[in-house]
Amino acid sequence: MTTLNTTPLAPLLDRLFEEAATAETSAALAEFSPEERARLMRSKTDYPELYGRLKDLPLAVSRETGRLLYMLARGCGARTIVEFGTSFGISTLHLAASLRDNGGGRLITSEFEPSKVARARDHLTARGLIDLVEIREGDALRTLSVDLPETVDLLLLDGAKALYPEILSLAESHLRPGAFIVADNADHSPEYLTRVRSPANGYMSTPFADDVELSMRIG
């Protein structure tokens, strides 16, 4: 048995994934013209506008990606994890569960929408996982630029897609050889994909499922 698939976490995740499935995400996104949405997704400066307008939506990883995160973190015996993009904390709950089952550790996650920080904190507290998690409120470009653990075992990129290269740069010198980087919806950041898919940059990388880029730090 694992923390992930037993009470009290499993029923909460079932509920959160159900809510995510019925959330009005498509309707909210339809308020943007395709051109506006594409521009905001690729902008390195206008992302607060996009995420501000989507602040009541979970925008969560899929169930499959959640399980993948848990399995990768368990498999590599992760003790230190950094996450870009907390939202309601669905991915965070998976990662914190993996740390619990690995015997403990530290998860640093980052979110700039205060209401989302509060919601994620409530979920982690209610399920007894908050002791493993430090939620850094504010723009991750700033909050993840200081005080990262000396070595990081796993990095999840799931905030503003255009910033994936910048956030990778902040964490890069901390990634231990063999560390995993999971980037959700990385197709929106061609710059990031080019970087991690070039072996000269010190990564091995492969697209995984429809929307995930799974990479490993080599050098």
Ligand X SMILES: C[S@@+](CC[C@H](N)C(=O)[O-])C[C@H]1O[C@@H](n2cnc3c(N)ncnc32)[C@H](O)[C@@H]1O
Q: How far is CA 105 from CA 8, 14, 99, 127, 128, in A?
A: 20, 25, 6, 16, 14
Closest to ligand X by CB, 124 vs 193, is: 124
Q: Give me the least distance between CB of 25 and ligand X, in Å please.
A: 10
Residue 111 sits in the site that holds ligand X (CB under 6 A): yes
Under rule CB under 6 A, how many of the chain's residues touch ligand X? 23
Closest to ligand X by CB, 28 vs 141, is: 141
Closest to ligand X by CB, 103 vs 210, is: 210
Asked whether the beta carbons of 96 and 90 are under 8 A apart, the reply is no
Q: Give me the least distance between CB of 218 and ligand X, in Å please.
A: 25
Contacts of 121 (CB under 8 A, 6+ apart): 89, 130, 135
Residue 213 sits in the site that holds ligand X (CB under 6 A): no
CA distance 183 to 164: 8
Q: Give me the least distance between CB of 34 and ligand X, in Å please.
A: 19
Q: How far is CA 125 from CA 59, 118, 215, in A?
A: 21, 10, 31
Residue 61 sits in the site that holds ligand X (CB under 6 A): yes
Q: Give me the least distance between CB of 133 and ligand X, in Å please.
A: 13
Q: What Rg do the C-alpha atoms of the chain give, in angstroms?
A: 16
The residues with which 8 forms a beta bridge, in sequence order, are none
Closest to ligand X by CB, 60 vs 193, is: 60
Residue 97 sits in the site that holds ligand X (CB under 6 A): no
**Which positions from 136 through 175 interact with ligand X, judged by CB under 6 A?**
139-141, 158-160, 163
State both tokens at 178. 């063999």
CA distance 93 to 15: 13
Interface with ligand X by CB under 6 A: which residues? 47, 51, 58-61, 85, 87-88, 90-91, 110-113, 116, 139-141, 158-160, 163
